[in-house]
Amino acid sequence: MRHEEGHRSHRIGWLRAAVLGANDGIVSTASLIVGVAAAESTRGAILIAGIAGLVAGAMSMAAGEYVSVSSQSDTENADLARERRELATDPEHEHAELTAIYVKRGLDDRLAAEVAKQLMQKDALAAHARDELGITEELSARPVQAAFASAGTFTLGAALPLVLVLLVPRSALIWAVSAGSLCFLAMLGSLAAYAGGSPVWKSAARVTFWGALAMGLTAGVGALFGATL
C-alpha cells in the first residue's frame, strides 16, 4: 500500500513568491494610504493615491520578476546548449562525469556506470540537465508566469487596504486601514508558516512588526508634510 509522505518542500517555491508578493502589496499600499490620509487628504485623493500605488507596484513587481527570471532562463539555456555540445562531441567523458555523480551519491562503480549508460540511452540531455546542472522541467525558469504571478499576488494584497478605504468612515480610516492591514499580514504570515511547516507565531509576529513599522513611519512623514505644505 503506497503511503503519502507529507513533504512540503515542493510547495515552498511558489508559496513563498505568492506570500512575498501579497505582503508587498499590503505593506506598500496600506502605508501609502495611511501616509496620504495623515496629510489630511480627501477620501478621493487617498483612493487615487492607493490605486496609483497598486498599479505602479504591480508593474514594477512584474518587470523586476520578468527581468530576473529571464536572466535565470538565459543562464539555464546557455548551460543546456553547452551540455548538448559536449554530449555530441565527447559522450564518453560525459558518461564518466554522470557515473562519478552517481558514485558520489552512493552507488558502486559498476552500478553507477550502468545507470548512467541506461539514462543517457533514454535521454542523455535530460539526465545531465537534472543530475549535473540541477535543471528540471518542473523547476525551469518561466519569466512570463513569474511576472504574472508576482503582479497578481501584489494586486491581491494591495486591494485589501483599498477595499477598507471604500468601507470605513473617513474619520476612522487611518486606524481601520492600519489595523485591518496588520491582521491581513498576520494571517498571510501564519498561512505561509503553516504551509511550510515552520512556527506560525514567529512568522506572523515578524511580518506584522515590519508592516507596523512601515505604516508608522509613512504616517509620520504624511502628518509632517500635511502640516507643513
Note the residues at the interface with Zn ion (CB under 5 A).
94, 97, 128, 132
**CB–CB of 98/131 below 8 Å?**
yes
- In terms of phi and psi (left: phi > 0; alpha: psi -120 to 50; beta: otherwise), the region of 135 is beta
CB of 98 to Zn ion, least distance (A): 7
Q: State which residue, 9 or 121, has the beta carbon closest to Zn ion.
A: 121
Q: State which residue, 76 or 97, has the beta carbon closest to Zn ion.
A: 97
Cα 69 versus chain centre, distance? 11
- Residue 19 one-letter amino acid: V
CB of 53 to Zn ion, least distance (A): 48
- b/e for 168-193, b at 16 or more Cβ within 10 A? beeeebbebbbebbbebbbebbbbbb
Q: State which residue, 97 or 114, has the beta carbon closest to Zn ion.
A: 97
d(CA 208, CA 24): 12
Q: State which residue, 43 or 130, has the beta carbon closest to Zn ion.
A: 130
Q: What is the DSSP letter of 198?
A: S
CB of 83 to Zn ion, least distance (A): 5
CB of 106 to Zn ion, least distance (A): 20
CB of 94 to Zn ion, least distance (A): 5
d(CA 226, CA 188): 32
Phi/psi for 105 (5° steps) reads -85, -5
Report DSSP letters for 74-132, one per residue. Answer: HHHHHHHHHHHHHHHH-HHHHHHHHHHHHHHTT--HHHHHHHHHHHHHHHHHHHHIIII
Q: State which residue, 76 or 132, has the beta carbon closest to Zn ion.
A: 132
CB of 89 to Zn ion, least distance (A): 11
CB of 97 to Zn ion, least distance (A): 5
Q: Write the CA distances from 117 to 66, 92, 99, 100, 193, integer angstroms.
A: 38, 10, 8, 12, 42
Q: State which residue, 49 or 119, has the beta carbon closest to Zn ion.
A: 119
Q: State which residue, 65 or 94, has the beta carbon closest to Zn ion.
A: 94
